[in-house]
Amino acid sequence: NNSTGMAVTNDSDENCEKRNATIRSVSGSSNQIWHFEKRENGTYRISSVFNGLCLDVTKSGTTAGTNVGVYFSNDKPAQQWNVYGEAGMYRLKPMCNELALDIASGNAEGTNVRMGTDNNATTQYFSINKLSAPQATYVECSPGTSFTETTLWWNMTPYTDSYELTVYTKDDKGREQTYVSMSGLTDTYAQLELPAGEYKAVVYSKNCVGSTKSINEAVFTVEKGNGYKIGDVDLNGDI
């Protein structure tokens, strides 16, 4: 919101029991990130990255002061928003009335978001800043043996907060299954001890906007090694 410098925030909880929208200090958290999806009629569905609830005019009200909250997507006019203006100076008006998105008086944390008479007030102007999805990595592998570590590494990519590495194998019937999954990785490599077999590794780049699968899938074979570990009686790589 341009008049306060605060962000429109989805104030609902994970269970979607609370369903209000307020303004709060910019934190970059997922409840302040919104997905604008353009509809065929030119309006936008504005949904929260936090839990998917949509910016919604409560009960499709038509009077100034009507509350604006968040609600499950229903494609009704109360969730269809026209966006007017230019970069840094946008105004949002729903299909269900002739009012404009506004904030109640004041600039305190938790100040309510509501509908106001369309009068070009500074409280009715908003900035919309685009956030980029994480870019995909390219993953490579240096296979080990059942007695030495396998090393997987990938390139650091823009807009990525963390990585998730998933290694797949196949069961006795040839069906693909997850062997190991490691999330929240900030390094761009991992070392694993894997038994002999065929594997596939995929890296997912993640940020608050979403997740992007790696450009490739590293397919590799771990051979049975010539060595032993204490406790490996049959020398098959397992203790």
> Which pLDDT score, from 0 to 100, does residue 227 have?
64
pLDDT band at residue 164 under the 50/70/90 scheme: very high
Whether residue 235 has pLDDT greater than 80: no
Tens of pLDDT, residue by residue over 62-111, are 999 999 999 999 999 999 999 999 988 999 999 999 999 999 878 899 99
The model carries a pTM of: 0.68
Burial 109-133 (b: 16+ CB within 10 A, else e): eebbbbbbebeeeebbbbeeeeeee
pLDDT band at residue 228 under the 50/70/90 scheme: low
Nearest alpha carbon to residue 78 among 64, 96, 91, 92: 96
**Structure-token pair, residue 168:** 């797949």
Placement of tokens 């450009």 in the chain: 215
> Which pLDDT score, from 0 to 100, does residue 212 have?
95
> Which pLDDT score, from 0 to 100, does residue 104 have?
83
Q: What is the mean pLDDT of residues 52-64?
A: 96
Q: What is the 3-state secondary structure (H, E, C) of the chain?
A: CCCCCCEEEECCCCCCCCCEEEEECCCCCHHHCEEEEECCCCCEEEEECCCCCEEEEHHHCCCCCCEEEEECCCCCHHHCEEEEEECCEEEEEECCCCCEEEECCCCCCCEEEEEECCCCCHHHCECCCCCCCCCCCCEEEECCECCCCEEEEECCCCCCCEEEEEEEEECCCCCEEEEEEEEEECCCEEEECCCCEEEEEEEEEECCCCEEECCCCEEEEEECCCCCCCCCCCCCCCC
Q: What is the mean pLDDT of residues 150-156?
A: 97
Ramachandran angles phi, psi of 22, nearest 5°:
-135, 180
Q: What is the mean pLDDT of residues 101-125?
A: 93
As beta bridge partners, residue 124 has none
Q: Would you say 11 and 21 are in contact if contact means Cβ atoms under 8 Å apart?
A: yes
As beta bridge partners, residue 204 has 164, 213
Average pLDDT of the residues of the chain: 92
Whether residue 7 has pLDDT greater than 90: yes
Ramachandran angles phi, psi of 126, nearest 5°:
-135, 150
Whether residue 194 has pLDDT greater than 70: yes
pLDDT band at residue 133 under the 50/70/90 scheme: confident
Whether residue 151 has pLDDT greater than 90: yes
The pairing of beta strand 68-71 with beta strand 81-86: unpaired
Tens of pLDDT, residue by residue over 172-183, are 888 999 999 999
> Which pLDDT score, from 0 to 100, does residue 210 have?
81
Q: What is the mean pLDDT of residues 227-235?
A: 71
